Amino acid sequence: MKDTTITLHTAFKVGQVDPRIFGGFLEHMGRAVYEGVYDPDCIHADEDGFRTDVLTALEPLQYTVMRYPGGNFASGYHWLNGIGPRNQRPTMQDLAWQSKEPNQIGTDEYIQLCRRMNWTPMLTVNLGTGTPEEARNWVEYCNSSTGTYYADMRAANGSEPPHGVKLWCLGNEMDGPWQLGHVPADQYAIRAQQAAKMMKDTDPSLELVACGSCAVDLPTYMEWDRHVLEYLGDLADYISLHRYIGNPADDTPDYLAVTNSIDQQIEEMDAVCRYVQGKNRSRKRAYLCFDEWNVWYRARQPEHMDGKGKFAPHLIEEVYNLEDALVVAGFLNSFIRHADVLKIANLAQIVNVIAPILTQGDAMLLQSIYYPLAMYTKRRSGISLQPVVQGPTYEGQTNGQVTYIDTSAILNGDQLHVFATNRNLEDAMTVRINLADRPIVALADAELLTGPDPKAANSYEQPHLIKAQPFQAAEINDGAAIVTLPPLSVAALTFRLVH
């Protein structure tokens, strides 16, 4: 098979990669919070009840922003239930996931966790069953200096200095008929505008994410976004995108070609933002916040989403394999290629619930998708360059034509990071990487993720089947790099450039 060439030039810049595209999402759902990050009965629990094994495993993923407390959960959540002395907090029935919510983790514990993990907090207000005023009160609780009711309540709960939460989501998936308090776009826009105005009146430094379309196959896709953005005007700093991808037809080549569709979703939503900016004759445009994304399709039947009234039920605990890890890399490549318009993204989620990390009692497992996240995030600083890929292609059944090699690249001073996925199921592919105006001098450091077959997955019995390995096999020839990537693999390569 012919070789692939990736051509780059330092002048062909897409934009600075916003580190916030490496965000995560922690929802009060299933075993994400309880038995995930927080489990006072676990042998790994610290004095605050947080699981040190999980937090240590999360560190290499270097999440930037951490969205909380939902998700669908947020649309029925009243934040006042989650503050104050723990033994006085009410246990509530969570209708989003039919679960029991004891509120042992709330705003202050979440902020404590953010500080400890170096996460930037990102809160979702309840625009389902909550009121705009309740949302605004939460901003006062988190961000105002003491001297008023809710800010004093925060101080009484142990935090005199404000929490300083700048990033807020105006509800969650309000276009989805399953959402508590779901309403048509015009009614959501009114709610969101009322909340946004009061929230920014309380703290003008806030950045607000309006609920955008949560699925590309809903009939309201794009029209919802247009209406909401037009109505909110300059109050909206970002519009949200959500996407969960799967391989229900068991067609691996097509599944891996889904990058076409992710690119398309980002570009369509960008088009809506540009259209509304023009129509509103505004100097400001909304940017994109992909605040839920992942692979999720196996644990999607109703029984996976019904907690049957229990505390910390096992919900949507997807087991990930090698092909899923390649799709996760595909999402990240697409995000980097759209660095000019995509500013925030949150992997949904971080532990147990559709997550790279699973727990079972005191044990913990790193899933296949953990590795691309770790490989990319340590190379995330710099400017995204526009790659031109020339090489063999194939046609996905539904996702159309793609090159076998999927890629993105980041220039960081004298370093060039190149990410390359070989979607070929049978053949290794040779890839020539050419930065046209700056010769590559050497391979500084690289990792490779691959495995025995597309369905191979880590398990408690075989925890290291799919794992990133150091990769040295790069040849530097005449200022260009040549690497050979095994079938079904992801490489993250860091090159040194001529000074």
Q: Which is nearer to ligand AHR, 70 or 82 (CB)?
A: 70
- Stretch binding ligand AHR (CB under 6 A), from 64-72, 79-87, 138-146, 420-428: 64-72
In the shown chain, the binding pattern of residues 198 to 237 toward ligand AHR, with x for contact by CB under 6 A and - for none, equals: ----------------------------------------
For position 70 contacting ligand AHR by CB under 6 A, the verdict is: yes
Residue type, 148: T
CA distance 160 to 154: 7
Task: Tell me if residue 59 is catalytic.
Answer: no
Bridge partners, residue 402, by sequence: 394
Nearer to ligand AHR, 176 or 233 (CB): 176
Catalytic residue among 27, 140, 173, 318: 173
**Which CB sits closer to ligand AHR, 72 or 408?**
72
Helix (H, G, I), strand (E, B) or coil at 203: coil
Q: How far is the CB of 492 from ligand AHR (least distance, A)?
A: 26
Q: Is 348 in the site for ligand AHR (CB under 6 A)?
A: yes
- Which residues fall within 8 angstroms of residue 433, CB to CB, at 6 or more apart? 5, 6, 8, 418, 420, 440, 480, 481, 482, 483, 493, 495
Stretch binding ligand AHR (CB under 6 A), from 65-73, 127-135, 141-149, 248-256: 65-73
Nearer to ligand AHR, 71 or 372 (CB): 71
Binding of ligand AHR at residue 352 (CB under 6 A)?
no
CA distance 26 to 24: 7
DSSP assignment of 399-440, as one string? TEEEESEEEEEEEETTEEEEEEEE--SS--EEEEEEETTS-E
Residue with Cβ nearer ligand AHR (72 or 159): 72
Per CB under 6 A, which region of 70-78, 82-90, 406-414, 423-431 contacts ligand AHR?
70-78
Choose the binding region for ligand AHR from 68-76, 229-237, 434-442, 465-473 (rule: CB under 6 A). Answer: 68-76
Q: Give per-residue burial for 421-432: e unless 16+ CB within 10 Å, then b.
A: bbbbeeeebbbb
Min separation Cβ 410 and ligand AHR, Å: 28
Counting Cα atoms < 13 Å in the Cβ hemisphere of 73 gives 28
Residue 94 in the binding site for ligand AHR (CB under 6 A): no
Q: Does 72 contact ligand AHR by CB under 6 A? A: yes
Q: Is 23 in the site for ligand AHR (CB under 6 A)?
A: no
Nearer to ligand AHR, 286 or 295 (CB): 295
Contact region for ligand AHR (CB under 6 A) — 69-77, 257-265, 407-415, 483-491? 69-77
99 versus 172: smaller Cβ distance to ligand AHR = 172
DSSP secondary structure code for residue 498 in this structure: -
Count of chain residues binding ligand AHR (CB under 6 A): 9
Residue 412 to residues 145, 147, 351, 385, 499, Cα–Cα distance (Å): 39, 45, 31, 10, 12
Query: Is residue 195 part of the contact set for ligand AHR (CB under 6 A)?
Result: no
Q: 15's torsion region: left (phi>0), alpha (psi -120 to 50) or beta?
A: left
Residue 172 lies near ligand AHR (rule: CB under 6 A): yes
User: Do 435 and 10 contact (CB within 8 A), yes or no?
Assistant: yes
Nearer to ligand AHR, 70 or 454 (CB): 70
Annotated active-site residue 292? The verdict is: yes
The minimum distance between CB 174 and ligand AHR, in angstroms, equals: 10
**Which residue out of 27, 35, 140, 292 is catalytically annotated?**
292
Q: Of 199, 178, 183, 196, which is closest to residue 242 (Cα–Cα)? A: 178
CB of 253 to ligand AHR, least distance (A): 27
* Residue 128 is a binding residue for ligand AHR (CB under 6 A): no
The dihedral through the CA atoms of 372, 20, 138, 161 has a sign that is: positive
Interface pick for ligand AHR out of 23, 69, 71, 330 (rule CB under 6 A): 71
Ramachandran angles phi, psi of 364, nearest 5°: -145, 150
Does residue 136 contact residue 168 with C-beta atoms inside 8 Å?
no
User: Up-side HSE of residue 166: CA atoms within 13 Å toward CB?
Assistant: 8
**Residue 175 lies near ligand AHR (rule: CB under 6 A):** no
Nearest-Å Rg of the Cα atoms of the chain is 23
Shortest distance in whole angstroms from residue 431 CB to ligand AHR: 34
* CB nearer to ligand AHR: pick between 304 and 432: 304
Neighbours of 162 (CB within 10 A): 17
Q: Show the site string, 275-314: x = touches ligand AHR by CB under 6 A, - = not.
A: -----------------x----------------------
| Nearest to ligand AHR of 70, 382 (CB atom) | 70
Minimum CB–partner distance for residue 316 and ligand AHR (Å): 7
Q: Does 349 engage in binding with ligand AHR (CB under 6 A)?
A: yes
Q: At CB < 8 A and 24+ separation, what contacts does 82-90 make?
A: 82/106, 82/107, 83/107, 83/108, 83/141, 83/153, 83/154, 83/157, 84/153, 84/157
Report the distance separating Cα 477 and Cα 467, nearest Å.
Answer: 29
Cα 199 to Cα 73, 114, 167, 379, 422, distances in angstroms: 21, 22, 11, 35, 46
Nearest approach, Cβ of 306 to ligand AHR (angstroms)? 13
Catalytic positions, please?
173, 292
Question: Rule CB under 6 A: which residues touch ligand AHR?
Answer: 27, 70-72, 172-173, 292, 348-349
